[in-house]
Structure 1
């Protein structure tokens, strides 16, 4: 287990505070609150305010906008894990009458459904949900603007449909499913559908003068699953820890990892962005961040997790525009990662029960044609196949109960690696999705597709 430190170094804390102080001033936000998680524990929180009196703390609520979508996606993934739905099911199988055709649940989760980005006018974020009491009012006369499954097109109505799916399958309101399925198990007592004091007021700051105007805080009604929630730095830090590791009371680690896998190609002109199943993906300074941004009139918010670093950051501000919490949260992760890099796990020998002579005999060099690869054995009888030099296709594999291994990443994700033996039981070669790996490059008598030249190796 990696050594864990309860607190950050004073210099790191000073750098974090400085970053949000700059963000609050340059973004002209009435207030700005943030927190950092390391190895599942909140290790820092801070805030800046332009007002007199009590500054916001980790328990002050802000509206989090589209970070709500992550909660909705988790509820949908729970339905899948319980066998109540399939991600490739058409939505209409479980929620008939929507008029969206063969759009699948997975396409809705990943914004690949082709549905419109917004509901018909008036602007849904500044009008009460009673303006759109039914799904037909949210979808309008032309719900689709692109062919389903072809490209990324962010859709708020799509997540409205997913919230209605949760209600239809669960038989309870989205709010009740959220409370019992996520908030109570994870102890998110300050995450609510409507604000509960202490809560920040939402403001519009004049772009050319230091004056403000209050923004409306509408109840979004049926569109709540797309952006309704209020939360705090403290609660979102706990939620970020869940998104990094999973929690079997809510969603398994494997299912949370599945949410982080890109589901559609990134939007045109955004090579560093992407979207999984309810999670935004971002490449920043060589790191992969997963989480979500959010905004509603009067508020902006961001939650980013760097799984590799064991770090997460949350930023909340009560201004319609100006602060850039997406950039700030990424910077907070980077500050801690560079100042206090994560300690690697100590090397440990395999448990005696996992030492297998036949498996050990497979380790070492193998050749795909003339490309040299090395096979290593890891915990749980897993193996790694990696090029010994140059650029090649590295992959890790998990052992299968029936024998062989399944690829976990890279080019060979989902592909099967198996040992092929000769009639006498000796190892002939490794087969990886029809690719043959032999102990020697083009050895006479080996099972090389196309055969081996009988004259063997020669000079020019």
Structure 2
């Protein structure tokens, strides 16, 4: 079954269908369903199933595994935005007695808390959560395998702790808080802790024979915040749109931008592979695309949600097999097909509503030492500073409403940009985190650190 919508060209739709058909056939998946999102709306859904099976649609539930972590991270960021906690707080401050309380909330979100990757004892994904009724059972006698905060090490138990934190602060179960604060406001009616018909059955496909084995479906108990959820491509398409634009009933666009910012210290292998972890989201760089989202897997299921912010295209891929198709690769290819075949059409240029003389005075060319930069003022009220050579540090800045701006990205993220004026009101220079930007290279009228040679510029003598 394939749902075709007029927003995509016929050639693009066929290319999308071909890609998932190859993935399902070569990956030997009992079924695979995918949805593409553009401009915040689902514009294509396609599905394939074995000859004996009925192809699913965007309303059929699959288990989404670790994409659940992104939902849990949203709940934690909500607590931060309400002022209930700070991401730099040690867990012990809000959830005492776990034995892992020295890790901060941000470190747990970013998998840099030093915790073990998995729980002790039997494989938690294929055994009942009743075997781990307490956090002590989730962490074991040796919760830490690395120094806290020193490196990225994917740790499922960390999200069990974050779920328990949400429960402690809210005084309700993680499931109830999630439903009330995220699922209902966003209209994710087919996302749930337990499967609700229609839903796919999870299968293991034999690696050397075309036969299948049913996988058990376990309630993960304390580990639920790390991987319990079931969802549909329709619901995850709405969730992808939320992760881009925000929803003030749930989480602001600014907080989601923070969630999408790398937050974990990467190892050499991670950097080489183009991977970074943020706050409940992953970033992967592949073949010229920068994709943010999350993958997920549990026995019997594979899942992926990725977004290309530059192209305004997202893709969701769900399959009901333990291994086989590579959901990230398929999702990335779906994004690439749309981005290349139908490039994003930019929004029309629009001028600013008001031309503030104090800001207009600042635009144009500036120099940091001898390197030339351009300061531009855009219709959204922010400014951008970028090297004219194309090489060097650049950033967008958000207005603080008092004549200063705060950096939003790169080296200058969080740094303050402010104009410094002379007694007569004219602009002397720009101060950016102590860096002095002047109208001329080493302008003698500005307080350049170290001073300016009185003899001025000269040739070879």
The normalised TM-score by structure 2 is 0.96
Asked whether the 8 Å contact 2:350–2:379 carries over to 1, the reply is no
Q: Within the alignment, does 1:243 sit opposite 2:243 as a pair?
A: yes
The corresponding residue for 2:440 is 440
The ranges of structure 1 where at least 4 consecutive aligned residues each deviate by more than 4 angstroms after the TM superposition are none
Asked whether the 8 Å contact 1:13–1:44 carries over to 2, the reply is yes
- Given the superposition, is the C-alpha separation of residues 211 and 143 from structure 1 closer, same or farther in structure 2, using an over 3 Å criterion? same
Asked whether the 8 Å contact 1:279–1:292 carries over to 2, the reply is yes
5 Å matches for 1:330-341?
Answer: 330-341=332-343
The corresponding residue for 2:114 is 114
Stretch moving more, 423-432 or 20-29: 423-432
Asked whether the 8 Å contact 1:380–1:399 carries over to 2, the reply is no
Asked whether the 8 Å contact 1:267–1:274 carries over to 2, the reply is no
Stretch moving more, 125-134 or 364-373: 364-373
- Given the superposition, is the C-alpha separation of residues 390 and 303 from structure 1 closer, same or farther in structure 2, using an over 3 Å criterion? closer
Structure 1: 5+ residue stretches without partners: none
Q: Shift of residue 83 of structure 1?
A: 1.3
Q: Shift of residue 381 of structure 1?
A: 4.0
Q: Within the alignment, does 1:86 sit opposite 2:90 as a pair?
A: no
The corresponding residue for 1:55 is 55
Q: Within the alignment, does 1:317 sit opposite 2:319 as a pair?
A: yes
The corresponding residue for 2:454 is 454
5 Å matches for 1:43-442?
Answer: 43-52=43-52, 54-271=54-271, 272-351=274-353, 354-442=354-442
Deviations 1:121-169 (A, max 9, x none): 1110110011111111110000010011111101111101111111100
Provide the rounded CA distance (Å) in 1 between the counterparts of 2:446 and 2:161. 56
Provide the rounded CA distance (Å) in 2 between the counterparts of 1:248 and 1:164. 24
Q: Shift of residue 380 of structure 1?
A: 5.0
> The residue matched to 1:402 in structure 2 has which SS?
coil
Asked whether the 8 Å contact 1:290–1:304 carries over to 2, the reply is yes
Q: Shift of residue 288 of structure 1?
A: 1.4
Structure 2: 5+ residue stretches without partners: none
Asked whether the 8 Å contact 1:87–1:104 carries over to 2, the reply is yes
> The residue matched to 2:431 in structure 1 has which SS?
strand
Q: Shift of residue 425 of structure 1?
A: 2.0
Deviations 1:195-253 (A, max 9, x none): 11111111111000001111100111111111111111111111111111111111111
> The residue matched to 1:270 in structure 2 has which SS?
helix
Provide the rounded CA distance (Å) in 1 between the counterparts of 2:98 and 2:444. 63
Stretch moving more, 196-205 or 405-414: 405-414
Q: Shift of residue 440 of structure 1?
A: 1.6
- Given the superposition, is the C-alpha separation of residues 267 and 216 from structure 1 closer, same or farther in structure 2, using an over 3 Å criterion? farther
- Given the superposition, is the C-alpha separation of residues 381 and 182 from structure 1 closer, same or farther in structure 2, using an over 3 Å criterion? closer
Provide the rounded CA distance (Å) in 1 between the counterparts of 2:107 and 2:212. 40
Work out the number of aligned pairs and report it: 454
Q: Shift of residue 92 of structure 1?
A: 1.1
> The residue matched to 2:116 in structure 1 has which SS?
coil
> The residue matched to 1:65 in structure 2 has which SS?
coil
Provide the rounded CA distance (Å) in 1 between the counterparts of 2:172 and 2:431. 49
> The residue matched to 1:301 in structure 2 has which SS?
strand
Provide the rounded CA distance (Å) in 1 between the counterparts of 2:288 and 2:53. 41
The normalised TM-score by structure 1 is 0.96
Q: Shift of residue 412 of structure 1?
A: 1.4
Provide the rounded CA distance (Å) in 2 between the counterparts of 1:337 and 1:290. 15
Asked whether the 8 Å contact 1:34–1:45 carries over to 2, the reply is yes
Give the aligned CA root-mean-square deviation in angstroms: 1.4
Provide the rounded CA distance (Å) in 2 between the counterparts of 1:371 and 1:120. 55
